[in-house]
Structure 1
Amino acid sequence: MNEARTTPRRPGLRAAMFVDFDNVYLGLQALDPQAARRFAEDPKHWADALSAGGPGENSRRFLIRNCYLNPVAFSKYRTYWTRAGFRVIDCPSLTQRGKSSTDINLVLDAMDTLTGVNEIDEFFIASADADFTSLIQRFRAADKLTTVIAAGAVAFAYREMADNVVESHDFVAILNGSIVEPLRAVESGQPQKEAQGAAKAKPKTKAKSVSAAIREVCDLVRTAPGPVVGAMVAHRALTVDPSLKTDWAGFGKFGTWVAQIGQGVEYSPSRGGWVWDAQRFSSDDLPVEAEVEPGIEERVARVTDVPALSEAQFRQLFQAMAARLQEQPVNRSDLSRLVRDDCVTAGQPVSRGAVNFVIQGLGYVNFQLDETATAEGLAAAWTDDVEELCRVALMEFDDGERQALRRWASGGYLES
């Protein structure tokens, strides 16, 4: 009797990538024109980085690579993508207002893939367009893992629905070659139970390499006069061991990594994150809320995703950015890192994500990030962007609230 033959599954995670070319390219243009050019002309470079390099169970194999672009505006890039193994789908404008057919074509192809014969483990959507939130919901309902590649501000709901988000600054770093290690497919590409087991096992292999960072954190909190803001602790850990910035030793983010240290080190994510020595302090010793006028800042941050920084933090951010721009030319990925470090050193810690959000906003209002920039000019341009975000979100303010908004967003540079 003939036995049915079964073809063994090749190693690696089966993935599908759908690229909204117009959205990503234009988003990168506002962030880093050089990175935008590399994205458009060398897709194989960053696609290989996302594949996690060599073969094995932890690598990705992109069975489907689709790129959707407007042929009228971007046809000159088609050859680069076809040579890199992408299927290019023309999505011309179908309306008088210039909107292309990318969204509907991408969604139809993605749903066909989801219900097709090939079992896809992970879906990549390269777009910051929150219209794809419902598509991500369909993937999750089918127990598929999802990764969003964003080149621009990402809506909160869109971000939360995805399993992983490749942030703008991380994607720019990949494009510029700043990240030399491939993005591993563990946690984000395996079935949920296997991924959880891998996440628990991975840190053990990194114990030796992070021990110096752990010692630095322990020394810092044990000598500090009180709880230490999380951004300051993260900065000190990364100074000792820069490799942690990739995935925090397999824990994914700083909060999870520092919480597992033990040795009397306690962590709380409240109000931006705090770390303290449990032998001397407790959560009762955490400082009170930042001294900002109640109401307006919380409302704006909640509705528009504007970073919930204090007025003093915004002011320090603008001062640090102006100083760096006046020193020497710097690409925007490095600028966000340097400004973040300068703010931490100045005692007004600001996350890199917040800095990137501000840089993106300055790009949207066409502010030139060069040596002519001043702190006052940066503050005014950023405030214009915040007011526009509020307008689009249909937020309404009276005269007093509008004045408070401008004073807060500008770091105190604009009083009215």
Structure 2
Amino acid sequence: MSLSPSRRPGIRAAMFVDFDNVYTGLLALDPAAAKRFAEDPKHWTDALSAGGTAENSRRFLVRNCYLNPVVYSKYRAYWTRAGFRVIDCPSLTQQGKSSTDINLVLDSMDALSGSVGIEEFFIASADADFTSLIQRFRAADRMTTVIAAGPVAFAYREMADSVVESHDFIAILNQSAAEPIRAVSTNGTAPVSGPRAPQGRPLSPAVKDVTALIRSAAGPVVGAMVAHRALAADPSLKADWGGHGKFGTWVAQLGKGIEYSPARGGWVWDAKRFSSADLPQDTEPEPGIEEQVARVTDVPSLSTAQFRQMFIALEKRLREHPVNRNELAKQVRDDCVSAGQPVSRAAVNFVIQGLGYAHFELTDTSTAAQLATAWTHNVEELCRVALMEFDDDERRALRRWASGGFLES
């Protein structure tokens, strides 16, 4: 089948994510990265889409995520919001085997034979069962990229055109801003030069890049980021890290004042300026219920105190005299700023709009508590529509936050 010319610039791509496989693999390597993968898929898909120019950027015409709804349904809202089609793949056997494989393969073959002409297929899974699927893509002369979060079988790796290794993926997930992911080719090797390493091999060109990175860093650098930089400079290291077997051993033997610790996911630093005492002591804390809800529903990310002040200001302004909505939002915004709890006019408008959706009539007898209650009911409905699930404690926390403390249970 010949590919028709694209009507818009960019590589036409399809993404198929085996959620269970990638998430469990990341949990074993870096729990914080696993959390970002599950709760912010837009971040790393944007990084995959970027290509520097319009011609080599990717357009994901298909975005499918396959997950076990019994175990991971709480993440569904994050993926649907990021533009993914989420396919439920519950366990169908007593052994707990889900239907992900067959669903993913069927959808992939539909995309392959479709009229759009997908040029690049992404399979996010380290499951070597997909080797035959990759072979089919290659036979149809399509590019294939595997995103792996765990050990990858040799045949599976070699069949793909490119592999985004675990450390590459973790490095992107742990960055605060999305950057283009350039997959490490399974066939490419970088030229080596310079003095010989103790094992009789040429000194990797990655040594220079990694040393420069550590020397200029403002503090200890997460190991995954260093590994990503090393492989970008010398893809051949991925085989056995220059004879050292693994990244930690390779970076630890560099010397020249570069120190490595496997603690908390692995860190590298310049011993002339830093020590192990400069490593972060705690992992990233779990986000509060307010952060989760704001991320999924567009509810303003305000504090409990800010919501409370907004409802108090609304009550005050409504009692004075009726005004149009735009003027009311401006006055409430100004009152909150004067009270030391600044909020944006857009946030006030969002709340007023939510009160309308909750069928709450704004009158001169409306109290702050009534306003808070109606608004909280609207927030709960937004969460329900977004398929967000909460236990009793989380629900109480949601009501306390959204109501500005007027509702305690």
Residue of structure 2 equivalent to 1:240: 212
The alignment partner of 1:94 has SS state of coil
The alignment partner of 2:261 has SS state of helix
CA deviation string 1:382-407 (max 9, x = no partner): xxxxxxxxxxxxxxxxxxxxxxxxxx
Contact map agreement 2:171 2:228 (CA 8 A) in 1: no
Residue of structure 2 equivalent to 1:74: 72
Q: Within the alignment, does 1:229 sit opposite 2:201 as a pair?
A: yes
The alignment partner of 2:137 has SS state of helix
Which whole-Å CA distance do the structure 2 matches of 1:270 and 1:49 have between them? 25
| Cα distance, 1:255 vs structure 2 | 6.3
Instruction: Give the TM-score taking structure 2 as reference length.
Output: 0.52
Q: Which amino acid aligns with 1:254?
A: D
The alignment partner of 1:65 has SS state of strand
Q: Which amino acid aligns with 1:338?
A: V
Which whole-Å CA distance do the structure 1 matches of 2:203 and 2:176 have between them? 22
Which whole-Å CA distance do the structure 2 matches of 1:270 and 1:121 have between them? 28
Q: Which amino acid aligns with 1:153?
A: P
Contact map agreement 1:29 1:36 (CA 8 A) in 2: yes
| Cα distance, 1:235 vs structure 2 | 1.4
Are the structure 2 counterparts of residues 8 and 160 from structure 1 closer, same or farther at C-alpha, using a change threshold of 3 Å? closer
Q: Within the alignment, does 1:338 sit opposite 2:268 as a pair?
A: yes
Number of corresponding residues: 251
Residue of structure 1 equivalent to 2:17: 19
CA deviation string 1:19-50 (max 9, x = no partner): 00000011111111111111111100000000
Which whole-Å CA distance do the structure 2 matches of 1:225 and 1:14 have between them? 43
Contact map agreement 2:10 2:54 (CA 8 A) in 1: yes
| Cα distance, 1:240 vs structure 2 | 3.4
Contact map agreement 2:44 2:173 (CA 8 A) in 1: yes
Are the structure 2 counterparts of residues 55 and 186 from structure 1 closer, same or farther at C-alpha, using a change threshold of 3 Å? farther
Question: Any residues of structure 2 matched to 1:125-140 within 5 Å, and which?
Answer: 125-140=123-138
Question: Any residues of structure 2 matched to 1:98-247 within 5 Å, and which?
Answer: 98-177=96-175, 181-184=179-182, 220-221=194-195, 229-230=201-202, 233-240=205-212
| Cα distance, 1:58 vs structure 2 | 1.1
* 4+ runs deviating over 6 angstroms: 185-188, 224-227, 241-248, 269-272
Which entry has the higher C-alpha Rg, 1 or 2?
2
| Cα distance, 1:13 vs structure 2 | 0.1
| Cα distance, 1:239 vs structure 2 | 2.1
State, as a whole percentage, how many aligned pairs show the same letter: 61
Q: Within the alignment, does 1:254 sit opposite 2:191 as a pair?
A: no
- The answer for unaligned runs of 5 or more in structure 1 is 1-5, 189-195, 204-213, 258-268, 274-289, 291-306, 343-369, 372-416
The alignment partner of 1:68 has SS state of strand
Contact map agreement 1:59 1:184 (CA 8 A) in 2: no
CA deviation string 1:281-307 (max 9, x = no partner): xxxxxxxxx9xxxxxxxxxxxxxxxx8
Which whole-Å CA distance do the structure 1 matches of 2:206 and 2:200 have between them? 10
The alignment partner of 1:109 has SS state of helix
Are the structure 2 counterparts of residues 323 and 141 from structure 1 closer, same or farther at C-alpha, using a change threshold of 3 Å? closer
Contact map agreement 1:58 1:185 (CA 8 A) in 2: no
Q: Within the alignment, does 1:85 sit opposite 2:15 as a pair?
A: no
Are the structure 2 counterparts of residues 180 and 43 from structure 1 closer, same or farther at C-alpha, using a change threshold of 3 Å? closer
| Cα distance, 1:338 vs structure 2 | 3.2
| Cα distance, 1:271 vs structure 2 | 9.2
Which whole-Å CA distance do the structure 1 matches of 2:146 and 2:19 have between them? 14
Instruction: Give the TM-score taking structure 1 as reference length.
Output: 0.51
Contact map agreement 1:146 1:162 (CA 8 A) in 2: yes
Which whole-Å CA distance do the structure 1 matches of 2:162 and 2:213 have between them? 23
Contact map agreement 1:27 1:151 (CA 8 A) in 2: yes
Which whole-Å CA distance do the structure 2 matches of 1:41 and 1:270 have between them? 31
Which whole-Å CA distance do the structure 2 matches of 1:225 and 1:117 have between them? 53
Q: Which amino acid aligns with 2:201?
A: V
| Cα distance, 1:180 vs structure 2 | 5.5
- The answer for unaligned runs of 5 or more in structure 2 is 215-224, 254-258, 272-280, 283-409
Match of 1:61 among 59, 62, 84: 59
